[in-house]
Amino acid sequence: MDKKIKRCGWANYNQLEKEYHDEKWGIPVFEDKELFKMLCLEGMQAGLSWVTVLKKMQAFCEAYDDFDPEIVVNYDEKKEEELLQNEGIIRNRLKVKSVAINAKSYFKVCEEFGSFSNYLWGFVNHKPIINSWKKLEEVPAKTELSDKISKDLKKRGFKFVGSTIVYAFMQAVGMVNDHLLDCDFRRVEVK
């Protein structure tokens, strides 16, 4: 008989959340394009629930060329209007425009730091922060570090990178491990 799988409380409501939690959330990501994609997707989530983004994930990736910065950096007004007509994605004009703007900033960061990964992971000394939360209510929505990263991203021209968005991004890409202590998917080994 299988024991009941323990997950973080937010990941028990539907299959999409369970799969995302079990297979992606909190696992360190170092690949530049994947980091850029996740930052854009977290920005799309602003004011909405993450499950909304998960439900639209395939449509997002198709509409935005899988958030490849080499492609989205060249998006023009025609492409933005096309995206705003796409019912499969979140059609907020400022969020749509932010992807191309963020791609321009991404390339400047890559030039300065050698990679987007070097820049972002440098804020945590290139290894995840491992937290030890017992209850979901203990997990913060933002921290001093997410405030610092948000401020720096904004200074560099990024959009939709407020502190709460940045902290959710940090959790998503494993810069911070916020799996609860009793979660079966809490991984604390570092590559």
Q: Rounded to whole angstroms, how far apart are CA atoms 8 and 12?
A: 7
Contact 153, 25 (CB under 8 A): no
Q: What is the DSSP string of 162-190?
A: -HHHHHHHHHHTTSEE---TT-TT-----
Angle at 50 between CA 19 and CA 145, to 5 degrees: 105
Contact 123, 171 (CB under 8 A): no
Question: For residue 177, what are the β-bridge partners?
Answer: 130
Q: Rounded to whole angstroms, how far apart are CA atoms 165 and 99?
A: 15
Give the residue numbers annotated as catalytic, written as ranges.
20, 42, 50
